[in-house]
Amino acid sequence: MARNRTTFPPGKGTGWGGPARGPGAGPKFEKFMEGNQTEHPAGDDYRERRQKRRELRAAGAERLQQLKDHLADLALNAEHEATQVSATVAWLNREEGMPAQTNKNLNVDVISGLPLDQQRAIAAALDALPDDAGDDAGGAAPQHH
């Protein structure tokens, strides 16, 4: 039984990148200790932006609920039936989600379901057809000299 062998790129040592070469050139950090202060690098600006995002998110959720309520009102109380139907569909799509789309493959492969001897007979019959048998005009193929 054959085994699959994984080949690795040639390395410079025992591991992928070779032996350790010491600490990197990044910034030096102190070890975390219980009394250390931790703060975001952006300072108070970060907190303000975060609070603004929360406010915008809350306002967006409130506006979304207003729009859903308006659609529900249109669905129940609109003057025209077409408006009621389209508002109902829009509201349902937002609340329940769009219905799942399904695609049916209507291509049929009859040949592969036949026994092998019948498949060979069909292939031989197709090979025996003259070259111009598939011409839509029904006549002979044009002669080029």
pLDDT tens digit sequence for 37-88: 666 566 667 788 888 999 999 999 999 889 889 988 999 999 999 999 999 8
Domain-embedded: residue 51:
no
Domain-embedded: residue 29:
no
Domain-embedded: residue 72:
yes
pLDDT more than 90, % of the chain: 16
Place of tokens 């609109």: 78
**Exposure on the CB side of residue 49, measured as CA atoms within 13 A:** 6
Q: Is the pLDDT of residue 12 over 60?
A: no
Q: How far is CA 5 from CA 8, 9, 12, 16, 44, in A?
A: 10, 13, 21, 17, 55
Domain-embedded: residue 53:
no
**What range defines the domain where residue 91 resides?**
67-97
> How many domains is the chain built from?
1
